[in-house]
Amino acid sequence: MADNTTADKKKLFIKTYGCQMNVYDSERMAEAMGGAGYETTDTPDDADMILLNTCHIREKAAEKVYSELGRFKGLKADNPDLKIGVAGCVAQAEGKEIMRRQPLVDLVVGPQAYHRLPEMEAKTQQGVKALDTDFPEEDKFEKLKGRSKAKRAPTAFLTVQEGCDKFCAFCVVPYTRGAEVSRPVDRVLTEARDLVERGVREITLLGQNVNAYHGAHNGGDMTLAGLIWELNKVDGLERIRFTTSHPNDMMDDLIEAHGSCDKLMPYLHLPVQSGSNKILKRMNRNHDRESYIKLIERIRAARPDILLSGDFIVGFPEETEQDFQDTMDLIEEVKYGQAFSFKYSTRPGTPAAERPLVYDAEASERLYRLQALIAQQQRAIQDSMVGRNVNVLFEKPGRLEGQMVGKSEYLHAVHVADANAKIGEIKRVRIVESERNSLGGVLVSD
């Protein structure tokens, strides 16, 4: 049978919350629904199906979903055939409760079951509500259709590992995403080659604990470093990144790869959460500040120019001013080029949920101080790029005529006037100015 024409196609609007893994999942869900006669749209107003791909990591993220769902009431009243679905980690954590709280929801699908989305949508067309929050035995990536063959942007995410066995005391991920699972090496390589054929030059390997990757390969297991070396051989792929890593899984071969693998970019996101050993212990992080700092020294010895990024939680239960000061001291010592910081948010069902909270105003004030320190470090590192030559992968035209915008190997946004470059090209650029959130550069020939 011939493909549906665009006019025949139904419209799917997906809104994505949270991490890059959700961005990747949304793409895969859109592709799966492509096989069921849907194409994506940028607005919920003309959609036949709305899918919220949700995040449950903090309370606010989950509450946003309910308020967003409330806003679709009018659309559903105007178009009773409109199907509304909730996917992602809120779907996994709250399941049926979502349909109870918001009866206009037709479909709830957890992150491990979204390959079943087309069947579930067919069910809703018969007026039956569909719920699937299983952790099925089958590999969802295998069950999904192959990736669409359309030309792509030069950068892409590729999920290689899911789930987490670490059980940090504050975190819902082990409950919503399940146990650690790695995709086999050959499947990752096939998907990577496919992306490269479609114009991708930079791949970011994703996993909740991506450096715990141990994908099946030739009857054994391969580490993340092994996978990176395999990807390094893929012609046309120019850059490799990975996120998010846990300090305890930063193995020697991965540290060495940072020093010797030319396509692996000098950027590492390595969350520590706190600089206080007392708090790290209560968080069940299984590392202390000294081992983290030692690790950073080893990574910097392998790749001196590496740009470090981190995650921090302030106001974890029983965090004192001294504990917080330990975190500030650690930041002073490490020096981050970027960081994500959050006020502790109680997540029901996690071990920390029962513990006494830090006074909210106190936690907010600590977050403010921490973010000010990070902003200062980020600025200093960005400013230090002026006068240096970097390689820029161009991603899109800039706001000015002839200007192109891309990213350096350190993930800084760089704009270049008269870049004379195509999207997906990499050119050598001298940084001449540091602005609020980006760098300005000129082409050089070396």
Contact between 66 and 32 under an 8 Å Cβ cutoff? The reply is no
244 belongs to the binding site for ligand SAM (CB under 6 A): yes
89 belongs to the binding site for ligand SF4 (CB under 6 A): no
Contact with ligand SAM (CB under 6 A) among 40, 176, 209, 276: 209
Question: Cβ 342 to ligand SF4, closest distance in Å?
Answer: 11
Contact with ligand SAM (CB under 6 A) among 47, 90, 173, 339: 173
Tell me: cis bond preceding 243? Omega within 30 of 0 counts. no
Instruction: Name 233's Cβ contacts closer than 8 Å, sequence gap at least 6.
Output: none
313 belongs to the binding site for ligand SAM (CB under 6 A): yes
Contact between 86 and 54 under an 8 Å Cβ cutoff? The reply is yes
Q: How many residues touch ligand SF4 (CB under 6 A)?
A: 10
Letter for the amino acid at 136? P
Residue with tokens 């295998």: 142
Residues 216-255, one symbol each (x = binds ligand SF4 by CB under 6 A, - = not), give: ------------------------------x---------
363 belongs to the binding site for ligand SAM (CB under 6 A): no
Question: Cβ 248 to ligand SF4, closest distance in Å?
Answer: 9
Contact between 335 and 365 under an 8 Å Cβ cutoff? The reply is no
In the region spanning residues 134 to 193, those forming contacts with ligand SF4, defined by CB under 6 A, are 164, 166-168, 171, 173-174
Beta bridge partners of 11: 39
Contact with ligand SAM (CB under 6 A) among 47, 50, 51, 57: 57
| H helix runs in 154-274, sequence order | 173-176, 185-197, 224-232, 252-260
Question: Cβ 21 to ligand SAM, closest distance in Å?
Answer: 8
Termini Cα distance of the chain: 54
Give the closest residue to 265 by CA, choosing from 300, 239, 245, 247.
Answer: 239
Beta bridge partners of 181: 162
344 belongs to the binding site for ligand SAM (CB under 6 A): yes
d(CA 347, CA 431): 44
Q: Which one of 119-127, 300-308, 342-350, 408-416 is the stretch in contact with ligand SAM (CB under 6 A)? A: 342-350
Q: Which does 167 bind (CB under 5 to 8 A by kind): ligand SF4, ligand SAM, none?
A: ligand SF4
d(CA 127, CA 120): 11
Q: Return residues touching ligand SF4 (CB under 6 A).
A: 164, 166-168, 171, 173-174, 208-209, 246
Q: Return residues touching ligand SAM (CB under 6 A).
A: 19, 57-58, 170-171, 173, 208-209, 244, 246, 271, 273, 311, 313, 342, 344-345, 347
